[in-house]
Structure 1
Amino acid sequence: MIEKTISDILTKKKLTLSVAESCTGGLLSHSLTNIPGSSKYFICGVVAYSNETKIKVLNVAHDTLKEHGAVSKETALALANNIRHITGTNIGIGITGIAGPGGGSALKPVGTVFIAVAIGHHMYFKKFRFSGNRLKIKSQAKDAALNLLKECLT
């Protein structure tokens, strides 16, 4: 179970983590906090579904959203970096995407997900294109975020 592996690494390295989610709707936070003892490292999870919340709560620049859109590399990086700074954690994760069934476009079809991890001054980023229904896309995005976090930690 990857959540347990991440828990062990974070606990051993005494690192803390916060998450800013959009399209996953809290699924990543839920998954991470299912592990007993997660309160040692999991500090905060924010579901920032609206642009207004991204701006007001997570300090994503209005220009970032206007120029690149809510579903973009730039927004995912801002979410990860800003949640880390706001909460004072070692690590921040940002997830944004289109879970569907509507909302997609030719450039960003349903299933497009951007995930970023901020650790100190290092930023990691991946773009994904998942398929399936809304729940499958959300689950795949959560799994991808866990895998990216594990890669960054090892």
Structure 2
Amino acid sequence: MTAKQASGAFKATALGASLKRNNLTLAAAESCTGGFLSHLFTNIPGSSDWFKGGVVAYDNAVKTKILGVKASTIERHGAVSEETAVEMARGIKKKLDADVGAAITGIAGPGKGIPGKPVGTVYICVASARKKTVKKFQFKGARVKIKTLSALKAVEMLERFVLRGALK
């Protein structure tokens, strides 16, 4: 485990403690990370107290049928977009009846990506009933590195979101 991964695991543990302390729950919708964010959470003993679960929405049909992402959103903006990330986060929150939904969608590579969205383009959204935050990232590196960095960045965003009291 690298220092960055250890830091991410520590932050995920702290996030879980904060969610539990405030009697809040979390659910995750992941595309390019393939469940890695959920993996980080389920490595924490007692995570079932605050982590409701996750969906790997790798195929667009899963995004639309399970998470409720509008087909028109994907057609207009693409599966890798701010708009899709927001709908994924809101969809998983609703589907699993969680206080917060986190979503990651992006292009982990290898390959060339798509026009305007090179490999390493990732959108992460964190949403509660009243607020949301969504950010675009451009990560560099091989596929596994992009997946890891994406999940760790999502943990950081969740931590800030909870600390700001955006879930109440």
TM-score (norm. length: structure 2) = 0.90
Query: Could you tell me which residue of structure 2 aligns to residue 40 of structure 1?
Result: 49
SS of 1:78's equivalent?
Answer: helix
Query: Could you tell me which residue of structure 1 aligns to residue 19 of structure 2?
Result: 10
* 2:125 equivalent to 1:112: no
Unaligned runs of 5+ in 2: 1-9, 164-168
CA distance in 2, matches of 1:62, 1:105: 19
Aligned residues: 154
CA distance in 2, matches of 1:64, 1:102: 24
* Deviation of the 1:105 alpha carbon: 2.6
CA distance in 2, matches of 1:126, 1:149: 12
Identity %: 47
Query: Could you tell me which residue of structure 2 aligns to residue 19 of structure 1?
Result: 28
1:28 equivalent among 16, 25, 37: 37
Query: Could you tell me which residue of structure 2 aligns to residue 63 of structure 1?
Result: 72
Runs of 4+ in 1 over 4 A off after TM superposition: none
Query: Could you tell me which residue of structure 2 aligns to residue 135 of structure 1?
Result: 144
SS of 2:133's equivalent?
Answer: strand
- Partner deviation per Cα, 1:67-108 (whole Å, 9 max, x = no partner): 000000000000000110111110000110000012513410
Read off the aligned partner of 2:113 and give its amino acid letter.
Answer: G
Query: Could you tell me which residue of structure 2 aligns to residue 51 of structure 1?
Result: 60
Q: CA RMSD in A?
A: 0.8
Unaligned runs of 5+ in 1: none
Query: Could you tell me which residue of structure 1 aligns to residue 7 of structure 2?
Result: none
Read off the aligned partner of 1:148 and give its amino acid letter.
Answer: M
Query: Could you tell me which residue of structure 2 aligns to residue 94 of structure 1?
Result: 103
SS of 2:155's equivalent?
Answer: helix
